[in-house]
């Protein structure tokens, strides 16, 4: 090995193209996967004047509008949204499954009845104006 090192010559300064090391530069490190668009989506939401709380409220409103369409939804008023992962009628589980990622942290412990009450109260406030 020493004989090989003795015969090896260092490249000329101009051969490195202005670099100080024969090693290529390290690629930038990132905590995002390639193609991850979370930052782009967050910037677009901020540009539209939405923050996390308004987006969640809009998502919850859309979920409630779908829940209200289910006949007899009042029977499940005491059911927490997070419990819909393992119980409840299929239509409720499907709706929650579609919205779970956006809503579970904020609304997972809330009951369907509480959400229905808040939604109907909001509609009455809007109609009274």
The DSSP secondary structure of the chain, one letter per residue, reads: -HHHHHH--PPPGGGGTT-SSSSPPPPPP-SSPTT--HHHHHHHHHHTT--HHHHHHHHHHHHHHHHHTSTTGGGGTT-BGGGGGTSS-HHHHHHHHHHHHHHHHHHTTSBHHHHHHHHHHHHHHHHT-
End-to-end CA distance of the chain: 87
Sequence-distant (≥ 6) Cβ neighbours of residue 45 within 8 angstroms = 51, 55
User: What confidence score (pLDDT) does residue 72 get?
Assistant: 87
Residues above pLDDT 70, as percent of the chain: 56
Query: Does residue 53 or residue 103 have the better pLDDT?
Result: 103
> For the segment 37-77, what is each residue's pLDDT rounded down to a tens digit?
666 666 656 665 656 555 557 778 888 888 888 888 889 88
Is residue 61 within 8 A of residue 106, CB to CB? The reply is: no
């Amino acid at each position: 090995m020493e004989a090989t090192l003795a015969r090896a010559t260092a490249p000329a300064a101009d051969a490195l193209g202005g670099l100080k090391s024969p090693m290529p530069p390290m690629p930038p490190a990132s905590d995002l996967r390639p193609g991850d668009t979370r930052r782009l989506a967050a910037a677009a939401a901020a540009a539209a004047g939405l923050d996390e709380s308004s987006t969640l409220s809009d998502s919850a409103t859309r979920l409630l509008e779908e829940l209200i369409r289910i006949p007899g939804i009042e029977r499940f008023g005491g059911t927490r949204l997070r419990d819909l992962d393992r119980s409840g009628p299929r239509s409720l589980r499907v709706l929650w499954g579609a919205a779970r990622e956006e809503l579970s942290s904020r609304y997972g412990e809330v009951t369907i009845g509480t959400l229905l009450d808040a939604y109907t109260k909001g509609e009455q406030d809007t109609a009274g104006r």
